[in-house]
């Protein structure tokens, strides 16, 4: 019996050349949004971009990840910390969950301290609807500093 939780990650196309270092480190260390898998074995089975605004690849990438057994899709932290943050996050989450029947988590690696400080000073995440989106990628200050 295979008890691995199979994960897919969708990143913002602005960061399409990102090697995934912070996401993969967080996955390995079970930090940020991956803290929920502490004690579980996980496997990355898909990694792609949204293909740029308004996220045309989101329509297809979930289905492709399903072919690899994905159980949870993570929308990368870059969708939150980029400026401006992705205006389609809730749309992506709802669409992927309904179309593919998988859990979608917003966030991968912990939000780096420098981005938390910047967005706090700009008031980017003051609206109440941002709070549940930030929750999984939030971490303690020491961990956030490590991801700067």
Residue 22 near residue 109, CB atoms below 8 Å: yes
- C-alpha distances out from residue 23 to 30, 32, 38, Å: 10, 9, 15
- C-alpha distances out from residue 15 to 44, 48, 120, Å: 19, 10, 22
**Residue range 43-70: mean pLDDT, rounded:** 96
Domain that holds residue 52: 5-146
**Residue range 10-19: mean pLDDT, rounded:** 95
**Reported pTM:** 0.95
pLDDT exceeds cutoff 60 at 121 = yes
What's the CATH code of the domain at 138?
3.40.50
What is the spatial distance between Cα 144 and Cα 148, in angstroms, rounded to a whole number? 7
Tokens of 19: 């090697």
- Count: domains in the chain: 1
């Amino acid at each position: 019996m295979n008890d691995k939780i199979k994960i897919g990650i969708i990143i913002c196309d602005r960061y399409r050349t990102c090697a995934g270092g912070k996401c993969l480190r967080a996955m390995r260390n079970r930090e940020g949004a991956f803290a929920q898998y502490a004690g579980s074995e996980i496997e990355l089975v898909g990694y792609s971009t949204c293909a740029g605004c308004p996220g045309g690849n989101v329509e297809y990438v979930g289905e492709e990840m399903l072919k690899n057994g994905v159980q949870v899709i993570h929308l990368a932290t870059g969708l939150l910390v980029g400026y401006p943050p992705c205006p389609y996050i809730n749309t992506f989450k709802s669409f992927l969950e309904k179309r593919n029947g998988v859990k979608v988590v917003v966030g991968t690696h912990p939000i780096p301290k420098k981005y938390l400080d910047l967005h706090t000073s700009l008031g980017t995440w003051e609206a109440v609807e941002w709070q549940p989106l930030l929750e999984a990628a939030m971490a303690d200050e020491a961990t956030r500093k490590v991801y700067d």
